[in-house]
Amino acid sequence: MKLICPLCQGALSARDQGLVCPANHSFDRARQGYYNLLPVQHKNSRDPGDNATMVEARRRFLDAGHYAPLANRLAALAAERDPDRWLDIGCGEGYYTGQLAMALPATDGYALDISREAVKRACRRAPQLHWLVASMARVPLADASCQLLASVFSPLDWQEALRLLAPGGGLLRMGPTREHLMELREKLYDEVRDYDDEKHLTQIPEGMRAVHSETLTYRLHLADAQARADLLSMTPHGWRASAERRAAVVAEAFDVTVSIRYDWIEKI
């Protein structure tokens, strides 16, 4: 798989401890093992993406195993596709990426996120992968270079996905259904907004088609106050709701529904 320069799209090649393109744009390898391919002019803020507090909350919650069934199913679906080259687009702190790496040994795996704090931590999970700080709207990989794109709870640029995928390759999308975390949302809001589980299917561009969809649902008992606080911190609900309602969620154990939809969307 070929990395390309985020400034001029020229091919990047290794030089010393970094990467360089024919126009002599150079990018150093961080000591943690990732490459920062997010130029200053492509940033919306000084440190875009999730901050260290959000990343740590997600790491604690996921490492406790609360979403392990979701990661296991994602990895199994990826392994069924048996790609040689794959990218986790919006990898966060790397929990799901690590599961993909274990399910796809001896493959050419890449992962990126716009959050430097997230990627710094993600590197530790699977050092054999190529870790990148980069924009999902300007992925520094060559056209048709991926056989599988994984998008987990992440916004998606459909045209970029279409550009990156080789013919016959596909997007493995994992996202919430309308039932996901319903009990949490009912505690936080007077009125819980409904949404269409299949809205994303209307956004599929010409040249791609939905081939497979399935849903995984289970009940999760949140007995630990830290887990409840972490779940709040790692979802948008944590900053949308009032402080009083957030405190009430952390104060008392409850059960919550986990309900996730998986889609395989193939490039024709």
Give the annotated binding-site residues for Zn(2+): 5, 8, 21, 25
Residue appearing with tokens 């790692």? 234
Residue type for 113, please?
D
Q: Which residues contact 243 (CB under 8 A, 6 or more apart)?
A: none
CA distance 113 to 91: 5
Q: Is 130 helix (H, G, I), strand (E, B) or coil?
A: strand
- Beta-strand relationship, 146-152 and 85-89: parallel
Annotated binding site: 5, 8, 21, 25, 67, 93-94, 180
Other C-beta atoms within 10 Å of 177: how many?
17
From 95, 89, 90, select the one nearest 56 (Cα to Cα). 95
Annotated binding site for S-adenosyl-L-methionine: 67, 93-94, 180
Instruction: Using alpha carbons only, give the angle 13, 14, 16 rounded to the nearest 5 degrees.
Output: 145
Tokens found for residue 248: 């009430």
Is 45 buried (19+), middle (13-18) or exposed (0-12) by CB count in 10 A?
A: exposed
Cα torsion 225, 261, 55, 106 to 10°: value is 130
CA distance 232 to 243: 11
Query: Residue 133: what are its φ and ψ, rounded to 5°?
Result: -90, 115
